[in-house]
Amino acid sequence: MTVKIFFPTCCSPSENGLLIGRWLEEHRSAVVLAIVHFPFIPGNVKRYLAGLERETGLRLAVLGTWSNIKAQKDEQMESFLGDLKSIFIHRPWLRITREASIIFWDCRIEGVDEEAEEEVVLVYYDQRKVMLSELHDATEHSEIATVFDTVARNRTLFALDRYDEGPIKLTHWQSDGVEASIIVELCKQASVPLCALLSFILSLIFSVTRALGRKPLSFLWNKLSTCEQLGKRLDSLQLICGTKAAKDHTLFMRKASTLVSLLLDVILGIVLMSWLYRGDHIGQLANALMPVADRVAVELQGLLQWLMGAPAGLKMNKALDEVLGRFFMYHIHLWISYIRLMSPFIEVILWYIGLSACLGLSVALSVLSDIIALLTFHIYCFYVYGARLYCLKIHGLASLWRLFRGKKWNVLRQRVDSCSYDLDQLFLGTLLFTILLFLLPTTALYYLVFTLLRLLVVLVQGVIQMTINLLNSLPLYALVLRLCRSYRLAAGVKFRMLQQEHGKCLRLLMQINPLTYGKVLQQYRLPSSNLYPKDSWGALCKKLFIGELIYPWRQERDKQD
């Protein structure tokens, strides 16, 4: 049988003493946590271990003795260490000896069945890294997961300063930043009332937003990206300012990543705001906005004039082509009048909108997306008109085609059933089918042109929304932790053999394998509101073919409702 002993590297130079740790019976392994130095009183050691068991919930014990022989063996000390197993009764009893003259250690196991030959494997581990790391991709009851859990749950043991005067003296990993830890604790205590005050203010803001979120205002709020982003920002602030301690690792990482993402977003927004208000860039944007709007209107008028003629040499229905062209041309004139009416106030509006950048770059991008939606509202109207007319004709042709085949759509059963029609119905259906079929090319051409324009606008808004989602969902804290402290996010361990000699125990060094950056993004990615439907390319092409409207703001939950 093989017995694995996990020994902390920080305890290698320790003086003679007792091995404190946990025996894993199901894995036949021992996890050494600390070494108790001489002199000590056995009763104090037992009471100290009992207190640790109550705090950690783990069964800790004296596993054996540790001998660090610097010069030559002391027979009296060896005899004394051997007699300790009668005081601290534990089976098996470990006796680890390190001699300064050789690089190999001697490890013996006593108190087991003498007929069974025990093979000892001594595994060194970094106590600090194992305690601070979070193990992923490991089963709950595996040996490595149990070792990591044992070390992590004994933070109380490691919090004891090695220089403190107490009933016993221990050697284990101890951080040198005692003063820094005191400052951190004071900051934590001071942040509790501040977080409580911020939570109260945020609760009031949530009450106001819930009052404003009722109909009919809710219809408008759900269509504006700025309102969606502000709601997301309130949720993030409520998560950060919550007074409940993040005892779970996932919740802590989510809070930390949300805080870092929020700070970076605000910093980028302040940089953008400083650029806008320096050098009169807002005035320049306002002066450039009107010529662009006029240019777009002129280009649309030219496009309509081209469609009302013979586009690409195609012969269209003259009457329907003229009606549709004049209808859309009238909307362009209305839009030009609206833009010129708002032109004196454009710079003032942009000046106040620029202040939104202090809330973060994502809020400023949301405002930009809403501005693009308002400036291209006439294109959206053209698309809706063309799509509705085209969809009406497609459904009409499909229904009349079923009439020729003796079929009809059963609304109650949601299926196609057989049906018999008389001669008048067939004659009327043939007449309507012919009219719709010959009018379809003209309608389809207008629908195609305005759909392409609408898709161009949706593409620009989609790029902006992807940037916003990236700012909101990128786990920056986890990525920085993976870059600077890769052992904190462990995917597993690997063992490196140090040296081996016949008749001596095998010595291995346990090293931590960090998570890959891809798994870090997958594991700690923050939730983000996806404003665009996740349709496949096939579903999107089907919608475009039959004339269904594409709403970029529609969410998945809206479809389910």
pLDDT tens digits, 424-444: 888 888 888 888 888 888 888
The pLDDT value recorded for residue 469 is 87
Q: What average pLDDT does this structure show over 418-423?
A: 78
Mean pLDDT over each residue of the chain, to the nearest integer: 78
Q: Which of 229, 244, 259 is the last residue of a domain?
A: 244
Q: Does 522 reside within a domain?
A: no
Q: Which of 110-124, 128-142, 265-279, 406-420 has the lowest mean pLDDT?
A: 110-124
Same domain? For 417 and 438 the reply is: yes
Q: What average pLDDT does this structure show over 28-38?
A: 85
Partners of 95 in beta bridges = 65, 108
Q: Does 34 reside within a domain?
A: yes
The pLDDT value recorded for residue 328 is 85
Q: Give the confidence band of 556 by pLDDT, cuts at 50, 70, 90.
A: very low
Same domain? For 135 and 210 the reply is: no
Same domain? For 107 and 220 the reply is: no
Q: Please check the confidence at residue 172 and state whether its pLDDT lies above 70.
A: no
Q: Which of 75-89, 257-271, 352-366 has the lowest mean pLDDT?
A: 75-89
Q: Which of 346-350, 370-374, 478-482, 499-503 has the highest mean pLDDT?
A: 478-482
The pLDDT value recorded for residue 178 is 45
Same domain? For 222 and 354 the reply is: no
CA distance 324 to 539: 29
The pLDDT value recorded for residue 177 is 42
CA distance 535 to 530: 12
Q: Does 488 reside within a domain?
A: no
Q: Does 483 reside within a domain?
A: no
Same domain? For 26 and 123 the reply is: yes
Q: Which of 177-191, 282-296, 374-388 has the highest mean pLDDT?
A: 374-388
Q: Does 497 reside within a domain?
A: no
Q: Does 433 reside within a domain?
A: yes
Query: Which three-class secondary structure string do you get for 454-483?
Result: HHHHHHHHHHHHHHHHHHHHCCHHHHHHHH
Share of the chain above pLDDT 90, in %: 0
**How do 93-99 and 415-418 pair as beta strands?**
unpaired
Query: Which CATH number characterizes residue 40's domain?
Result: 3.40.140
pTM value is 0.74
**Residue 111, domain extent:** 2-175
How many angstroms separate the first and last alpha carbons of the chain? 61
CA 235 to chain CA centroid, Å, is: 15
Q: What confidence tens digit (pLDDT) does each residue in 268-324 have? A: 988 888 888 887 778 888 788 778 878 888 888 888 888 887 777 777 778 888 888
Q: Give the confidence band of 156 by pLDDT, cuts at 50, 70, 90.
A: confident
CA distance 315 to 313: 7
Buried b (16+ CB within 10 A) or exposed e, 492-524: ebeeeeeeeeeebbbbbebebebbeeeebbebb
Higher pLDDT, 138 or 381: 381
Question: Number of folded domains in the chain?
Answer: 3
16 in Cβ contact with 68 (< 8 Å): yes
Give the pair of three-digit tokens for residue 225: 């990206």
**CA-closest candidate to residue 131, choices 520, 407, 485:** 485
Same domain? For 159 and 188 the reply is: no
Q: What confidence tens digit (pLDDT) does each residue in 190-214 have? A: 555 666 666 666 566 656 666 555 5
Q: Which of 77-81, 349-353, 488-492, 538-542 has the lowest mean pLDDT?
A: 77-81
Helices (H), 213-280: 217-221, 225-240, 249-276
Q: Does 489 reside within a domain?
A: no
Q: Which of 53-62, 195-204, 468-477, 482-491 has the lowest mean pLDDT?
A: 195-204
CA distance 274 to 464: 21
CA dist 110 → 60, 92, 507, 521 (Å): 19, 6, 19, 48
Same domain? For 166 and 200 the reply is: no
Q: Does 519 reside within a domain?
A: no
Q: Please check the confidence at residue 241 and state whether its pLDDT lies above 80.
A: no
Same domain? For 143 and 231 the reply is: no
Q: Give the confidence band of 560 by pLDDT, cuts at 50, 70, 90.
A: very low
CB half-sphere exposure, 56, CA atoms < 13 A: 22
The pLDDT value recorded for residue 63 is 86
Same domain? For 233 and 374 the reply is: no
